[in-house]
Chain A
């Protein structure tokens, strides 16, 4: 495909999307700069800042390492071994994605005396290992057994070549985990482990001088970007592309009886801790709580508010993502690359930092929307844009560009072609992306906490408030509903990975 001009009908809305996506980071820079070099230096050079950086990075490193170990071992057992019940474990392994980390943190805090670093590591590892498990499992089931057979025939073991070929998917998963941990707010706050995000929240709440919050936010963004860059550098130049589908499925490897028992125990324990424990905890508090006088009015109010803002968020996100997604899939050149990459900024921007920037911006320039739901909806759009753009791009890429060329040759303009061919064909994927954004937005905590209209509570903020005041039983219905909502995409993902294993 050569460099073609992007039609104005796509370019204009895509430019709006990109501007919106770049606004939070841009404004954070402006705001930090206003504090002057002095102010910035003062915040940066505090011993406390270094300590926070070490805590955040340490947490991210430990959780990522654990997730990689768990993710690869589980994926291998589910896809390549004769572990009994491996199909069930395949579903269970994806399910932790359905447990919002702050809900898991709530169940652990409510049940055992566990706080600080250990608690945070435990909760975050259990919630995020599927980010490694899923891509590795997918890569394992697509791997051409011929490579392994060649290694064996040359007198080498199979594990070397398998691990080597898993590197890109494991690294991509690890990157997600690291970014997720750096951005995490709810769970670490509940575990009372002070990191960047919680400190940003505290300095925002403490608030007259907001420069420190802005500077800390920016520093966190920089650290995240560094990790992204390091990952893409380390990917190296080896090509891991598959040529077509492998002809055969990789063979199943028989485990010895002892190993098998250990593997079974390991898989069961993980599923129990990551999925069973939160469910049991919520169940316990639902049934036995003494503070369990559920205010039905409050509950239905929270459900209504959650559904409302999440639906609006999903709609806006998808509408904004469609032009960028199409451009990313069908056009090349600097403009197209810039538009696509600018929407991915939200990806490396922790929710709390982005919310903070929106607060600053709204208070100064558009006070009319501050603490009104449109601002929250826009924030959702920026926050979840990468997922939506990715979904649109992937689904557009699935249909060959020649279809659009045929439409053009039959007299349709570029925009008419988008309407008559590109969008109808991409619709299932676009809708799936919208659904994913909808469900993710319902669980969102930090941005909602900062940007929601006064007096509005969503399921997430209500759970946060009740947990904060130690009312574990009162929090249980909210936790249960959140789990229920979040289970849907987890279930779908699990089914997909199951399809790949059968």
Chain B
């Protein structure tokens, strides 16, 4: 079902944690709420689930206003950080916890959905961390909730495991056709998994959109640097051209001009022979295999970090020329 959060505020003691947060998730979408720790994203999630009360605003699931309801009457499924399976119950009974007695068919169905058919008789401590996380998802999905909330569900997993569990969770959510909200501070996770990304800062959602649109057109410098890497340089803009130490660059149209800053994505930099573009000295080469990051000190005293293909011909100490490809982001002061 569609989730609509409107103008929610919440203060703990004197600390205002949410300052009018609004968020809409369309039916069947997976939305990621992305923000640094302390931005209020977990509080927002707990308010949607009903574990915290809101001070003002509204939370609607479908057409139903749920802000005054206790958690057990909201039909909101949750997948907590560390799976939090009931340790005294078997996997099947964990999944069946929210179902009426004798719903073993639905339990099997949900286990199949997360790729764990036949695991029902195991106890939680007998399965791996990634499997526990999937059981937690099956448990949340079993009673056909209106919305599923995932609270940094991959944090406790090993890096190597994270990517595969992420894919499995996304696939299961899509198969179930569930509306889901994923809370995370990991931008890679948010961008790669979600249908829409909502960037949260200081108790507000500052931008909502598809991962590609948020990355390509961040609403301000803060979002630009938080979602993806960016090199920020002082600049002035006039008639769609931003001038900075790297020359006069075409500005991505946003109708802003005057004094400000440009944000350049690392993949926009192109390293060339010395003499082309702005000259610089290679300081450091970080090789990742599929690509590489090259730190270059430009002659005016600015340091940039460029992303290139993995087969870099450059070594630290080399002289290079730097040019910029594509339109750049400009933000007024």
The residue of chain A having its C-beta at the shortest distance from the C-beta of B49 within the complex is: A409
Contact of A407 among B77, B82, B97 (CB under 8 A): B97
Q: Are the C-beta atoms of A409 and B84 separated by less than 8 Å?
A: no
Q: Are the C-beta atoms of A409 and B97 separated by less than 8 Å?
A: no
Q: Are the C-beta atoms of A406 and B80 separated by less than 8 Å?
A: yes
- In the assembled complex, which residues on chain B have CB atoms less than 8 Å from the CB atom of A414? 70
List residues 415-461 of chain A with CB under 8 A from any CB of chain B.
Answer: 420-421, 424-425
Q: Does A2 contact B (CB under 8 A)?
A: yes
Query: What is the CB-to-nearest-CB distance from B244 to chain A, in angstroms, rounded to a whole number?
Result: 46
Q: Are the C-beta atoms of B80 and A411 separated by less than 8 Å?
A: no
Interface string of B51-76 (1 = CB under 8 A from A): 11100000000000000001111111
Q: Are the C-beta atoms of B80 and A410 separated by less than 8 Å?
A: no
* Chain A interface, number of residues (Cβ within 8 angstroms): 19
Q: Does B88 contact A (CB under 8 A)?
A: yes
* Chain B interface, number of residues (Cβ within 8 angstroms): 29
**Complex: A187 Cα to B140 Cα, angstroms:** 60
With contact pairs A400-B84, A402-B80, A403-B86 given, residues A411 and B98 touching in the complex (Cβ less than 8 Å): yes
Q: Does B222 contact A (CB under 8 A)?
A: no
- In the assembled complex, which residues on chain A have CB atoms less than 8 Å from the CB atom of B136? 406
Secondary structure of the A contact surface, majority rule:
helix
- In the assembled complex, which residues on chain B have CB atoms less than 8 Å from the CB atom of A410? 72, 77, 97-98, 139-140, 143
Query: What is the CB-to-nearest-CB distance from B310 to chain A, in angstroms, rounded to a whole number?
Result: 39
- In the assembled complex, which residues on chain B have CB atoms less than 8 Å from the CB atom of A405? 49, 51, 71, 78, 80
Q: Are the C-beta atoms of A2 and B52 separated by less than 8 Å?
A: yes
Max chain A Cβ within 10 angstroms of own Cβ: one of B51, B70, B82? B51
- In the assembled complex, which residues on chain A have CB atoms less than 8 Å from the CB atom of B139? 406, 410
Query: What is the CB-to-nearest-CB distance from A3 to chain B, in angstroms, rounded to a whole number?
Result: 10
The residue of chain A having its C-beta at the shortest distance from the C-beta of B12 within the complex is: A2
Q: Does A209 contact B (CB under 8 A)?
A: no
- In the assembled complex, which residues on chain B have CB atoms less than 8 Å from the CB atom of A408? 50-51, 70-72
- In the assembled complex, which residues on chain B have CB atoms less than 8 Å from the CB atom of A406? 78, 80, 84, 86, 97, 136, 139
Q: Does A413 contact B (CB under 8 A)?
A: yes
The residue of chain B having its C-beta at the shortest distance from the C-beta of A421 within the complex is: B86
Contact of A409 among B12, B76, B81, B86 (CB under 8 A): B76
- In the assembled complex, which residues on chain B have CB atoms less than 8 Å from the CB atom of A409? 49-50, 71-72, 74, 76-78, 98, 140, 145
- In the assembled complex, which residues on chain A have CB atoms less than 8 Å from the CB atom of B77? 409-410
Q: Are the C-beta atoms of B84 and A424 separated by less than 8 Å?
A: no
The residue of chain A having its C-beta at the shortest distance from the C-beta of B151 within the complex is: A402
Q: Does A249 contact B (CB under 8 A)?
A: no
Max chain B Cβ within 10 angstroms of own Cβ: one of A399, A405, A410? A410
Q: Does B87 contact A (CB under 8 A)?
A: yes
Query: What is the CB-to-nearest-CB distance from A397 to chain B, in angstroms, rounded to a whole number?
Result: 15
Query: What is the CB-to-nearest-CB distance from A398 to chain B, in angstroms, rounded to a whole number?
Result: 11
The residue of chain A having its C-beta at the shortest distance from the C-beta of B80 within the complex is: A402
Q: Are the C-beta atoms of B72 and A412 separated by less than 8 Å?
A: yes
Contact of B84 among A2, A403, A413 (CB under 8 A): A403
**Complex: A111 Cα to B86 Cα, angstroms:** 57
Query: What is the CB-to-nearest-CB distance from A9 to chain B, in angstroms, rounded to a whole number?
Result: 14
Query: What is the CB-to-nearest-CB distance from A399 to chain B, in angstroms, rounded to a whole number?
Result: 8
Q: Are the C-beta atoms of B84 and A411 separated by less than 8 Å?
A: no
- In the assembled complex, which residues on chain A have CB atoms less than 8 Å from the CB atom of B78? 405-406, 409
Query: What is the CB-to-nearest-CB distance from B171 to chain A, in angstroms, rounded to a whole number?
Result: 22
- In the assembled complex, which residues on chain B have CB atoms less than 8 Å from the CB atom of A424? 88
**Complex: A414 Cα to B145 Cα, angstroms:** 19
**Complex: A424 Cα to B75 Cα, angstroms:** 24
Max chain B Cβ within 10 angstroms of own Cβ: one of A409, A410, A412? A409
List residues 108-140 of chain B with CB under 8 A from any CB of chain A.
Answer: 136, 139-140
The residue of chain B having its C-beta at the shortest distance from the C-beta of A416 within the complex is: B72
Interface string of A156-193 (1 = CB under 8 A from B): 00000000000000000000000000000000000000
**Complex: A412 Cα to B97 Cα, angstroms:** 9
The residue of chain B having its C-beta at the shortest distance from the C-beta of A403 within the complex is: B84
Interface string of A1-23 (1 = CB under 8 A from B): 01000000000000000000000
**Complex: A425 Cα to B73 Cα, angstroms:** 24
- In the assembled complex, which residues on chain A have CB atoms less than 8 Å from the CB atom of B73? 411
**Complex: A222 Cα to B72 Cα, angstroms:** 46
Query: What is the CB-to-nearest-CB distance from A486 to chain B, in angstroms, rounded to a whole number?
Result: 32
- In the assembled complex, which residues on chain A have CB atoms less than 8 Å from the CB atom of B74? 409
**Complex: A411 Cα to B143 Cα, angstroms:** 9
Query: What is the CB-to-nearest-CB distance from B301 to chain A, in angstroms, rounded to a whole number?
Result: 43
The residue of chain B having its C-beta at the shortest distance from the C-beta of A7 within the complex is: B70
- In the assembled complex, which residues on chain B have CB atoms less than 8 Å from the CB atom of A420? 97
**Complex: A424 Cα to B86 Cα, angstroms:** 10
- In the assembled complex, which residues on chain A have CB atoms less than 8 Å from the CB atom of B72? 408-413
Query: What is the CB-to-nearest-CB distance from B151 to chain A, in angstroms, rounded to a whole number?
Result: 9
**Complex: A407 Cα to B98 Cα, angstroms:** 8
With contact pairs A405-B80, A409-B72, A411-B72 given, residues A425 and B87 touching in the complex (Cβ less than 8 Å): yes
**Complex: A452 Cα to B228 Cα, angstroms:** 76
- In the assembled complex, which residues on chain A have CB atoms less than 8 Å from the CB atom of B51? 405, 408
Query: What is the CB-to-nearest-CB distance from B330 to chain A, in angstroms, rounded to a whole number?
Result: 43
**Complex: A409 Cα to B50 Cα, angstroms:** 8
- In the assembled complex, which residues on chain A have CB atoms less than 8 Å from the CB atom of B76? 409
Interface string of A378-410 (1 = CB under 8 A from B): 000000000000000000000110110111111
**Complex: A421 Cα to B80 Cα, angstroms:** 16
Query: What is the CB-to-nearest-CB distance from B318 to chain A, in angstroms, rounded to a whole number?
Result: 44
The residue of chain A having its C-beta at the shortest distance from the C-beta of B75 within the complex is: A411
- In the assembled complex, which residues on chain A have CB atoms less than 8 Å from the CB atom of B71? 405, 408-409
List residues 135-158 of chain B with CB under 8 A from any CB of chain A.
Answer: 136, 139-140, 143, 145
**Complex: A216 Cα to B99 Cα, angstroms:** 60
Interface string of B147-186 (1 = CB under 8 A from A): 0000000000000000000000000000000000000000
The residue of chain A having its C-beta at the shortest distance from the C-beta of B51 within the complex is: A405
- In the assembled complex, which residues on chain B have CB atoms less than 8 Å from the CB atom of A400? 84
**Complex: A407 Cα to B96 Cα, angstroms:** 11
**Complex: A413 Cα to B77 Cα, angstroms:** 15
**Complex: A425 Cα to B88 Cα, angstroms:** 7
**Complex: A412 Cα to B143 Cα, angstroms:** 12
Query: What is the CB-to-nearest-CB distance from B26 to chain A, in angstroms, rounded to a whole number?
Result: 22
**Complex: A50 Cα to B64 Cα, angstroms:** 71
**Complex: A413 Cα to B143 Cα, angstroms:** 16
The residue of chain B having its C-beta at the shortest distance from the C-beta of A425 within the complex is: B88
- In the assembled complex, which residues on chain B have CB atoms less than 8 Å from the CB atom of A421? 86
**Complex: A408 Cα to B78 Cα, angstroms:** 10
Query: What is the CB-to-nearest-CB distance from A396 to chain B, in angstroms, rounded to a whole number?
Result: 14
- In the assembled complex, which residues on chain A have CB atoms less than 8 Å from the CB atom of B49? 405, 409
- In the assembled complex, which residues on chain A have CB atoms less than 8 Å from the CB atom of B140? 409-410
Which residue numbers of A lie inside 8 Å of B, CB to CB? 2, 399-400, 402-403, 405-414, 420-421, 424-425
Lowest 10 CB-CB distances: which A-B pairs, in order?
A410-B98, A408-B71, A402-B84, A409-B78, A402-B80, A411-B72, A408-B72, A424-B88, A410-B97, A409-B71
Instruction: List 10 extra interface pairs beyond A410-B77, A425-B88, CB under 8 A.
Output: A405-B71, A406-B80, A406-B84, A408-B51, A408-B72, A409-B76, A409-B77, A410-B98, A414-B70, A425-B87
Q: List 19 A-B contacts (CB under 8 A).
A: A2-B52, A399-B87, A403-B84, A403-B86, A405-B49, A405-B78, A406-B136, A408-B51, A408-B70, A408-B72, A409-B49, A409-B50, A409-B72, A409-B77, A409-B98, A411-B72, A411-B75, A421-B86, A425-B87
Which residue numbers of B lie inside 8 Å of A, CB to CB? 12, 49-53, 70-78, 80-82, 84, 86-88, 97-98, 136, 139-140, 143, 145
